[in-house]
Structures are given as C-alpha cells and as structure tokens.
Structure 1
Amino acid sequence: MIRLENLTKVFETPNGPVVAADDVNMEVPEGEICILLGPSGCGKTTALKMINRLIPLTSGKIYIDGKDTSTLNDVELRRNIGYVIQQIGLFPNMTIEENICVVPKLLGWDTERAKKRAAELLDLVALDPKLFLKRYPKELSGGQQQRVGVIRALAADPPVMLMDEPFGAIDPINREVIQDEFLKMQSELKKTIMFVSHDIDEAVKMGDKIAIFRAGKIEQYDSPDVVLAHPANEFIADFVGADRTLKRLRLVTAKQVCDADAPAVSRHGRAKDAHAMIREHGTHVAVVLDADHHPVGYVTEDMVEGASGLVHEFARALPATVPARADLRAVVSEMFAHDTMWLACTDDSGRYVGVITQPAVTGALGETYRRAGKAA
C-alpha cells in the first residue's frame, strides 16, 4: 500500500517559486495499479519521483506498507521500489541475464538464485529464456528491450513499482502486446504500482484507479469506470473525451455479458430438436457444435422449422467468433465488421461458452453506468 499525505513540492526559480505538487493526498491499495494522468506539467511525474526521493519533497508524508519513508535512507527506500522509465537504460555491454541480475547481486543474492529469477521473469513476459538470456540488448527489438526493462525492476521482488510512461516510446501494436503481457504478469505478482501515463486509453486498460492531475492538484481519483461515467468536472470530461462511453467498452469482457444458456446443438443432432430448443429459449438461432464442443455453424428457427434430418444438413457457417476474454470494444468491432447482431464466444481452447448480442452489450453499458452512479 502507498499513501501520500499532503504531499507538496515547490521549486525555486529565478522568477519565483513554482508549485509542482500541491497538497496531494491519495492511497493506493496493496496489489493495485494506480495511473497518474493529466496534461504536461500537471505534477504527475513530480509526485511519482518524490516517492523514491528522486525529487525531494517540500512537505508532507509518504507511507509504504504503513511505514513512514522519511525514516529510511535513500538506499533502504529504493531497495523496496522497482523503477521503470521510458528510456529503458539497459547496460549495452551486459547480457540480458546480467542486466536483470544487477540489483539482486547488489543485494547479495547468490549467482544461482539471481539467474533462476532472471529466467522466471523472462518467461513471465513471453521471452524464451533459452533464446534471450545470453543475448545483448542490441540484439533485441525495442519492444523486447522494454519488456526486459520492466522485469529488471522486478528482479529483487520489490513490493512497490513506479513506472514513468514505460510504454510511451513503443509503437501501437507492440504497446498493446506489452500491456497485455504486463497485466498477465501483474495478475500473478500483485505488485502495488504507481504508473504515469498521458494516454487515457492506456489508463482505462491498465488501471485499477486513475488519479487525474491539473496544476499540481488531483482533480479526481477513482476507478476508470467512475471517472468515465461520472467525470467530476468539465476539465475531467474534456480530458477523458467525448467518446468516454465507448472507452468504457474496454472495462467489460465478453464472458461477463455472454449468455451461457443460449441454444447450442450438436451438428449430428436432429433438426426438429434444434427447432424446439430455439423456440423454448426465444432467441431464433442456435449455435452448432462439433464433437469437441467447438462452434462450427448456426441454424435459425426458420431454417429448421418442420425439417426432418440432421442439423448439419441445414447449418450455415458462423460469421466469426470472439474469445470470452475479449473486451466489448473488440466484440463490437467484430459485430460491425461482419454486420451481425450476435457472435458465439469461445474459451482459450476454442470451445463454445455462450452467445453475446448487441442488446446485451448495450444493457451492460447501462448497468455499469448505474453501478458507477451508486459508487459515486
């Protein structure tokens, strides 16, 4: 847990004092990601750097896991904090393994333990240790180097991580991949993370909480859902954008919305049984499954009404399927691309888990607005 109390930073300049952080108060629960967001010069990076004392604070208190950090010296403090910046800063003359092992070795870890940790962390971000441990930074792409930069900060297993626009220099495609890998890693490691970003889409995707800064002050601190559904003022509304309802599609997965009880029939089943199931459920369509429970087609009520024979004789190919873990933005995109009101959802093995419809997506957005309203 990180708690900032009345955190203030005043810089003395030739033109007089400048307040970069103005009485900042916030608490980040253990195991959560808090995104610090706002326009350039708003104080978010200053607040971040005061936590590991790269910038000394003017006044206020910082607590990590309930301990007042002013009682720790710089070395003690930074041993418990991983720090990741946009300019990765890997040592070019060291292998990837050596880069990751730098901090553990400084902390007195034995060589075997440090090397084992390096291999485990590479595996966590989908870089095969057998291929990457002995390579040098110049042999990696920019995206791969950025992943190494992230896990290097995790090498000594710090409880807290500070990240200053860590994915900002990566192209959009690789950024999505790295974000996904990082979230997968965070789901296992549950670090407490403060993360500076300038990108509202990144904040919505990555954050458990968002703190939006303006002129050194926090204008709103809440979950992405509440910030998007109920911006605290006009500045927040303008900052998150007029399309904030569409941004909220990122916050709900297909699995949360899909109908697991929607009709599904075996391709070798009887057509009249499929018709009866469709009528009973009232959906006008049934997904057709193969022997491994993979969706391979569909039949409508009209197609099998009064029909004799087997389902596969009448079935048509599915326009597309979506993974149950996909967010609603991806689902809606597939629906528009294939001009359909519904899609079959699958698990990671491609097995059928239900059907998601456009009305269900609309209903889910309405429900999250209502929930956000109650939370606010």
Structure 2
Amino acid sequence: MNHPPVPTRARLGEVRYEIRGELARRARELEAQGRRLIKLNIGNPGAFGFRAPEHLQRAIAEHLAESDPYTHQQGLPAAREAIAAQHRARGVHGATPERVFVGNGVSELIDLSLRALLNPGDEVLLPSPDYPLWSAATILNDGRPVYYRCEAGNGFLPDPDEIESLVSSRTRALVLINPNNPTGASYPRALLERLVAIAAKHDLLLMADEIYDGILYDGAAFQPLAPLADDLPCLSFGGLSKVHRACGWRVGWALLSGDPLRIGEYHHALDLLGALRLCANVPGQFAVAAALTGPDTITALTAPGGRLYESRRAVIDSCAASDFLALVPPQGALYAFPAVDTEALRGFDDHRFAVELLEEEDVLIVPGSSFNVPYRHHFRVTLLPEADTVREVFRRIERALARHAERQTARHVA
C-alpha cells in the first residue's frame, strides 16, 4: 500500500543555507571516496586547529560539578553580570543582568528574538549580502525580509537613504551585522548614528549582530550600536564562538537596551520563549566571565604576524595578483568576499563555479548568491586556514577561472 510522504512546512522552500547545504553534502560524499578537500565554507575555528583559550577551559572544568541542574532561563547570574558589565563599560545605560539573555549560540537567540517580535507579514530590514540565518529566521517566523544593498563600490557599507526608503507600515526591525559576515566591513560611527536616527524616526527595533566585535585588522575600530541608540530599543548579540574560538560550546548572548517602558513587553516575550526551551547549555556559561574579564587572546591573531592577519594578507595578495578577481579587503570578521570579473568571464555563475571547484580542484567555497544578493559573481572564503593553505586555494581558484576563460575563448573562436 502506497502512502504519501510526510509533508513539510511550505515556507521551508524559501529558506537557503548553502554554507552547510548541497555543496557541503557533496563534499562529504567526496571525502567518503577518499578525496582530501580544503574546506573554506564555515567559520569554524576549531576545525582549523584553533583552541578556546586555556583560562576558559579551566573555568568550565572547575565548575563542571555545578552544571547538572537547569539554570534560570535567561542564564547563569554570574555570566549575565559579566555581559552586562561589558556593555556598561561600552557606555550602555541601564545594562543590567536582568536585560541579558544567554542562548545556545547567537543562532538560537536570533530565532527567539524574531519569534518574539513578528506577526505574519511583518517586515525586517536585512543587509544584502546577509548572514542567511537572519533571512531564514525571519521567513520561518512568518516575517518578510526586505533587503538593503551593501555594495562593493561603497566598501560594502549600506546607504542610509536607501534603508529609509524601504521602511513601510509593516517594518518592525533594522538588522545590522558589524563587523560583517560575509564581507568583513566595519561600520563607522557616523553611519551608525544615521541608522539610529532612522530607527528613532520610524519606531524600529535595532538588532545588532556583533559576534565578531573583537576581530579587526589594520587599525579598524569596532563601534557598538547600543551606546548610540541610548533609549531606543536595541538588541545586541555576542558570544564565545568567534572571538574566543569556542563554537562548539554554543554560548551566545543578547542584551536588550532602551527605555524600560518601551522594551518591557518585548522583554517578557523573550523571557517566555527562553523559559519554554528551559535554559541554554550550562557548562559553557561558566566560561563567560573568564572570557570577558580575562586576558585578550584575539589581538595577537589579528595583528601583523598573527595567524589571521597573515591568512587575510594571503587572500588580499592572491586577489591582487589574479587576472580575474577583485577584493574589498575585509576590515574585520573571519571572511573575504572576492568578486569575479564578469567582463573577462562572461556568463560566470557562482554556484556552477563552486561545484566545478569542488569536483575538479578539491576546494569547497560558498557561492555569493547564497547570501541573498541579486548577482552571481562573488564567493566567500574563510580566513581560518594557514596562509600557505590560503595561497594554495587561490592557485586552484585561478586555475579553474583560467579554464573558464579558455572555454569562453574557444566558444568565441568557434
């Protein structure tokens, strides 16, 4: 007897996450066949030999016996106090532990924060390119992503006038990713002040994804959004995954700032949703205070001579030497977002190229169109491999692009 397949939610058809999608599945198949791949698709420090700092590891080990019970749905008091103290030091008024929510990574908190906010058809202003989880969480919580452009010609910074032109009666929030994934852009204070003014004018919730706040290069500065927002409702996200290289611990947080009367109902909604999932991973929370009050372990990696700095420089130099690539040098985060010259390579398609690169050169990248952009001539790589590995990757990329150019010439001659 034939039975119909189990139906799935229709809106899943609108969701894309190529970072761990079709290409990553094909990569696993090739590895099972014995192929040795270089995978630059995920910003996962532990997969490239990085370790969480020892003082964070000790903090967990010392408190492991206290980790069996559930904790408060918003997180361990000591962890929340450390997070609130960090934000007070940045100039955020009213940053108290009661306004901090600890989650299983920022990913969980993005979903909870949009679920607490959106009614069907509500709109969220998102950058294009974006980190696709933001789009997915908006869609799956019955919202509508509305994209503002962050173009290479403007250093991947947004145009405030365009953002304001996109505001409608259904717009509920403005999302910023700073420093940016996938482009590495770092937003200057003057730009952020203009975006705050737009949020104030139109009563929008500001949502600042600041998970890469300590990963900066060549003197770039990080400007947190919440101090500029002052009494405006603002949700600021951070965590241990990137700056502290502890992705697998799944510890992220969000601080809700602004006028207590304006954020009270939203705070209660977040608390309810947090309670429904009981609590976040407890052992990892014991590392939060150690991370935020202990020694700086990231600057040595991003300064000249540091591993991340040198891998970034290898990307920049490789793109500069390429016959086909252009790059806006990343100012922060763990990624670069090169562009392919479509005049030299007409008909270039980022996804088709990513498949070819995987099948023929054993390199896994993420097509730029996966980040919700309307064009198909960018790709994203992570800066986490050693510099020599990065240079080898770009030799293979150049070889694949040269083959594309040869095929194009052959078609033209024919």
- Bigger relative CO (Cα 8 Å, ≥ 6 apart): 2
Q: Whose Rg is larger?
A: 1
Structure 2 length normalisation: TM-score?
A: 0.26
Q: Which is strand-richer, 1 or 2?
A: 1
